[in-house]
Structure 1
Amino acid sequence: MKTEQNCLYAAVQMVEITEETSDQRLDNFLITKLKGVPKSHIYRIVRKGEVRVNKGRVDVKYRLQSGDLVRIPPVRVNVVDDIIFVPKNLKQSLEQDILFEDDVLMVLNKPAGYAVHGGSGLNTAVIESLRQLRPDAHFLELVHRLDRDTSGCLIIAKKRSALRTLHELFRGDGIKKSYLALLSGVWEKKSMTVNAPLLKQTGQSGERMVIVSQEGKSSATFFKAIKSLPDATWVEASPQTGRTHQIRVHAAWLGHPIIGDDRYGDFEVNRGFKKRGIKRLFLHAFRLEFQHPVSGKPLTITAPIPADMQVWFDDKK
């Protein structure tokens, strides 16, 4: 919970960018430095030229370089209590479900039901909760994202240099991702690659949607059947590209949407499985393979299947 206490005027700050703070956008840097200042005000002082980099005006999208000197003008800062509420089960997960950790990164087994970051009215999220639980950590940043109802491997960078390297791996083909998904219906193929371009759209109510469209970006997902149930199929899904909602949209395009998907799935199918106990999207990021950003050592990290999915994987329902 955040509560306003009082206000103060910060003095002019002259901040030299170091290697650890370089290669981030100016607006993100200012948001971090000026906690309590509305984003709209930050954008305004940049636009008016009150923020200077090396004595010159720059755009909010400017990427800071090591050695840059940033002038931050006096601004009105709302001093707030940054203590947020971390639910017991999320706290337990962030403390106990760490799959890998060293000095530069950690990999969490993210629980389903929690957004990876706050926003849109969300106060409880993984990265904010992790920072709350580790107040002495100087740097904790998401390397990538998972949907709220998707569980599994989530990488957190503990140093900016590691964040940059891992971002480069994600932009290329340096990270192999494998998901476990329960698709509706019996999928008769053993394996196939879906090559279907994806286009982002905004629905009438403002929700973000992704559709298959020739106007979209090239997208490819490899699906491999693992186990068949009477009316569903477990598959391993390996995205070859990193588009928003890629696996979910490609599965729906195949005619076998992921069970529990309330955006791209089948309403009647979901309702039937909900009565049988499936109350969320059955998608789990169960394996990551990549080279360590510092040592270059190959890493293969696997996240155990959550209990609610394991019951169905064991076919005991």
Structure 2
Amino acid sequence: MPDAMSKTVPIWCAVINRLLFGEAHQSHILQTPNEVVAKSEHAQIEGRLDAFVRDAESLDLDIQSLRSTLCKPLRPLWITPDSSAQYLQSCTAYHAVICCTASRRVIGTEASEYGYIQGAGDDSEGWSHGLTPALFWKHQQQLLEAVEEDMPDMIQRFLITKKSSNAGDDQAVQVGPTDLYIGSLASATQLGLYDGVVICSDQSPFILGLDEQARKKTKTLHLPCGEGKIGSRALRSQLPRLSPFLDALQSKDRPPRLLFACSSGKDLSVGVALTVLSVLYDDSYQFTLDATKTKIDKSLIRRRLARITIAKPDANPSRSTLQSVHAFLMPRET
């Protein structure tokens, strides 16, 4: 069983329960699978939970809103090929977080019993053919009724259809009460809605089909960054171009309405939005023209990223993207 299921998920369940359900002391106990996590390691993890809770509290989350949404504590349950049906029995006292693994539990070393390698069957990149949880639930009946040999081609058809439908997805997400928006490249076609648009793509605005007249009315900044780690690393050299762009947009009357767009709407655009949110907005998320009043450190960046992920749960900036943001905002600490 991978560490994500046996340790990370239980840690998050215990931390969330302690944050949201202070009166439900029984839910504060760390739950880990005895067959996988030794007692000594369980105790070591449990000893760090209070620190994890303090770290989560430092993000300045809206605890009351989260409590009203979740309603009940979380409890992890583990499903393996050896599990009995009793694991699936419902309980009204908590929300069950099902950790399901297709790998068999093997007693002994990882290489024992027919060359079994711990967690190999749970690495979705190795066997999913691009299938995501959202795509599975959308097409679950077709997938469950399909012959196994037909599934790879079926999944590819689903992916092509999803890609085509996303091409028309021009809805950007507003970051809380700010005037910052995050979206895919399709959202950049609505230039007239914004004072400024930052496009993170190795494709030029002309190739992306952006109207030239609209571009003249709306200031645009094109940051030529490709996909994946290469694009995230390129972002480090492009972020310094933000300052003069933002200076040209600033007004004493109101904060500029800004859109940040990239191919996925989840990575590079989130990194640039995080940068601007850290520089131009204070701890109350009020726009400020004097960026020197705000001390930027890792704690502040984490709080700003938390605000973005609350507004846009699918935001997923890569480690390389976040490293580029840190290098720009805190040059002396990286």
TM-score (normalizing by structure 2): 0.26
Which has the larger share of strand?
A: 1
TM-score (normalizing by structure 1): 0.27
